[in-house]
Structure 1
């Protein structure tokens, strides 16, 4: 008998992940990854691991021993009590950590579930633009990637179908914006799982992007009507072409009760046709067999018989930590390392004479004031975890830090692969001041400083005055 492959499955407790785990554990040994993986019991072919993909060290440990890795990660839900930044920028960090960890652990292939990327001459929505950027980042370090691109997935949980079903259920009549007449190709959950399974098994799909869809091309209004028919409803429709996407996302969020973090990016994407494209078609993978009506019946029947509520993911319980992520331009000739040092220098120059900064021979930084010897923040440079493309500092002290609770707080400067852009991020920072004070003072001050620094880099730029600290070393 051939050796069972070892598959690392991210999001193993999520909507897609739970179902995929059941499907593949019969023929593979699975490393099931979750933020709270230690809370679950291992079985003969499933080993649970806790993993925070915002940490590259965690990602490396998570993928140890894996032959293939499945990437089902999305950052539309906040991951800290206070989250500053867009989901697009946070997705960059997650994907970059995962891709670099896969390279270090000699993972043979990555299978990535993403969205269909349309070619309709319209600027991509934020959601689809981010999905494509993640796909490119996963490919950036040389590990072959199989991208399974799907449109609306029909099942009892997830995001898109519960939104649609709640609209039908709660509205006796519906105003139909222009986007409800856009064509899409919905796909049933079992067909998506089959496509992912084939992506895991078929090495010929490596480095390919495969569109998948069900047997029908429909408009969103068609889907609403069929869902209403399954529910035994007959909603009245009022065409109204003047409602914009921005207005639509607001009333969809209000009617369904879903968080704007999920609804807004999804609704913005509905302006695009989401149809399987010929150049991305693979026989036996792209062509789902289950009709929309059949899959909608199955989802709604699950709700009735098993007590499964058609609902969106709930916000996780969180400690009082902070994640703040901003994207800035990277001047030509500069690196993440040199930009980090320049930021400390700029901070003193910009806030002169109130702020003073120092950098020692080990590149550790102290940020303080001119009227006190005690620093506001102490940043310890991690030489072992840094490269020219990523400068990592641990937040190790200072008056603004809760030193007892701040065990994993860190600041990083990270170059985005193949772009002259940089991510500046604070992770798991625990402030010393009371939470409500921090939220309305220090947190807003940090955002303002980041905005000004972004403007400074974009408008003024700076010369190559800070050469790289070292040659890039493997992580």
Structure 2
């Protein structure tokens, strides 16, 4: 190529991102994206940008000038001091912001590292269902997506292999639930990097989902035995048919010390066979060459000789902010914009006569009490950043807001592409109440209110469906 391609790399400071950056920096100009990008120094072919992908504005700025974008983002870890909501719903926002930003910046292709979607006919685990939903969202705005689907990635960091290694190291006797006897196709980190690199360069595999795996299909117990042999250990095993996935995830979290945010979704996915599917096989990409034993030896040797601990992701430190995300049903014919205004009206009807709400001509909202003229919350509608599928309000005042610190607090209603579902999210909100008081009063009340609103919208949707099915004109 006469011109070096510009690659926007999300998660550039993370485990996979750091290694991919090293692999491609000799042939591409890289926009390295991280929440803490300002902490890194630029080099000749690497430009660091700080980016919070929960902000669509940040995402748009992050992808300016990019030809291709690599999506290595996953929201299993908390993103604020108080994070309310599931990782699935968080991932919807991140992927939707990224996909819309890619379209706005005319990015030619997105390369996405995700998990193998099994073809066993079983309902997908939460983790894999979320990974597939993200893949669909990334495709929803027209940018071609190359999805590289991998199972367990073997390397000295990350999540899956360090958890397995810690189990082997700490347990002289191991019980073997059913999931430890499920087939999987582990893949070494260098083989994953080769597949991602191919996705960046090979336009012929655009808009494809490609499974990748190592040269061996084996069970998790096989991997434990080989890892134990490398460590010089001989653990005893007791097969048990009665330990459920829920019990297993608790046991694994306790033994390894890994956070439940990481362990629970991963263990829930181990009920599926994670092997390369024929329909998603591409010669030269799908078939990794490094054996499990070779990659495990390298990971363990790195720990011993280079001082690299088999490190599990740690919870980051946060400012005193709040992120709260919930998913609700969107009734037929409604939009994100109309639902936001309806929510303000519904809130007053729910909490009448104590709470009063107002909406002005600009759709700006105030929430207050019936016995005071002062507002509890003030929401300023962002007309220029809103569409029918996304209503954005900045939290600009009120007694419940720390106005001095609340520079980016916002509330949004966002439709999930190709679904009759809506995400309602509060981002970077800084409450005025003392933290302990806020957590067990206002934050708790918000969750209850959102649950009631979700139930209300579900009932409203069912009534709409029933009304349409009994309408003689549509019969």
Q: TM-score, normalised by structure 1?
A: 0.97
1:342 aligned to 2:338?
A: no
Worse overlay, 307-316 or 129-138: 307-316
Equivalent-residue separation in structure 1 for 2:240 and 2:378 (angstroms): 57
How far apart, in 2, do the equivalents of 1:312 and 1:136 lie? 29
Separation in 1 of the partners of 2:412 and 2:44?
39
Comparing 310-319 with 136-145, which one deviates more in the overlay? 310-319
* Alpha-carbon distance in structure 2 between the residues aligned to 1:190 and 1:327: 37
Partner deviation per Cα, 1:92-124 (whole Å, 9 max, x = no partner): 000000000000000000000000000111100
1:355 to partner: Cα distance:
0.4
Q: Deviations over 1:175-218 (max 9, x none)?
A: 00000000000000000000000000000010000000000000
CA deviation string 1:272-296 (max 9, x = no partner): 0000011100011000000000000
The equivalent of 2:402 in structure 1 is 402
Question: Structure 1 residue 463: deviation in Å?
Answer: 7.0
1:221 maps to 221
Partner of 2:417: 417
Is 1:198 the counterpart of 2:169? The answer is no
- The superposition leaves residues 236-262 of structure 1 with CA deviations (integer Å, 9 ceiling, x where unpaired) of 000011000000000000000000000
For 2:364, the equivalent position in structure 1 comes to 364
Query: 1:402-424: per-residue Cα shift (whole Å, max 9, x none)?
Result: 00000000000000000000000
What residue in structure 2 maps to residue 57 of structure 1? 57
**How far does residue 228 in structure 1 lie from its aligned partner after superposition?**
0.2
Between the aligned partners of 1:64 and 1:241, the Cα distance in structure 2 is: 53
Query: 2:332 matched to which residue of 1?
Result: 332
**C-alpha distance in structure 2 between counterparts of 1:228 and 1:156, whole Å:** 15
Alignment-derived partner of residue 133 in structure 2: 133
Counterparts of 2:214 and 2:61 in 1: how far apart (Å)?
37
In 1, Cα distance between the equivalents of 2:257 and 2:241?
24
Counterpart-to-counterpart distance in 2, 1:278 and 1:269: 20
Question: What secondary structure does 1:210 align onto?
Answer: strand
1:82-93 equivalences in 2 (<5 Å): 82-93=82-93
- The answer to whether structure 1 residue 316 and structure 2 residue 316 are counterparts is yes
User: Do structure 1's residue 434 and structure 2's residue 437 form an aligned pair?
Assistant: no
Aligned to 1:238: 238
The equivalent of 1:79 in structure 2 is: 79
Structure 1 unaligned blocks of 5 or more: 465-475
Structure 2: distance between partners of 1:165 and 1:309: 11
How is 1:442-453 mapped onto 2 (pairs within 5 angstroms)? 442-453=442-453
Q: Who is 1:20 aligned against?
A: 20
Distance 1:179 1:197 in 2: 32
In structure 2, the residue corresponding to 1:380 is in which secondary structure?
strand
Cα distance in structure 1, aligned partners of 2:283 and 2:46: 31
1:353 is the counterpart of 2:357: no
Q: Is the 8 A contact 2:165 2:224 kept in 1?
A: yes
Within the alignment, does 1:266 sit opposite 2:266 as a pair?
yes
Where 1:444 maps in the other structure, the secondary structure is helix
Q: Structure 1 residues 463, 383: CA separation in 2 closer, same or farther (over 3 Å shift)? A: farther
Compute the displacement of 1:26 (Å): 0.6
Counterparts of 1:293 and 1:207, CA distance in 2: 33
> Is the Cα–Cα contact under 8 Å of residues 329 and 421 in structure 2 kept in the other structure?
yes
Q: Aligned-pair distance for 1:460?
A: 3.0
The CA deviation string for residues 379-405 of structure 1, in whole angstroms up to 9 with x for no partner, is 000000000000000000000000000
Cα displacement string for residues 352-386 of structure 1 (whole angstroms, at most 9, x for unaligned residues): 00000000000000000000000000000000000
How many Å separate the matches in 2 of 1:431 and 1:182? 47
Which residue in the other structure is 2:470 paired with?
A: none
> Which residue is equivalent to 1:470?
none
Q: Secondary structure at the match of 2:401?
A: coil
Aligned length: 464
Q: Which residue is equivalent to 1:180?
A: 180
State the SS of the aligned residue for 2:282: coil
- CA offset digits 1:51-108 (Å, max 9, x no partner): 0000000000000000000000000000100000000000000000000000000000
Distance 1:4 1:232 in 2: 47
Output the CA distance in 1 between the equivalents of 2:120 and 2:445: 41
Consecutive unaligned residues of structure 2, counting only runs of 5 or more, are 466-475
What's the secondary structure of 1:457's corresponding residue?
A: helix
CA distance in structure 1 between the aligned counterparts of 2:185 and 2:254, rounded to whole angstroms: 26
Q: Equivalents in 2 of 1:229, 1:441: separation in Å? A: 53
TM-score by length of 2: 0.97
Does the aligned pair in 1 maintain the 2:185–2:275 contact within 8 Å? yes
Q: Give the equivalent residue in structure 2 for 1:10.
A: 10
1:302 aligns with: 302
In structure 1, the residue matched to 2:276 is 276
**Alignment check: 8 A CA contact 2:325 2:423 kept:** yes
How far has the Cα of 1:2 moved from its partner? 1.1
Q: What is the CA distance between 1:317 and its match in structure 2?
A: 1.3
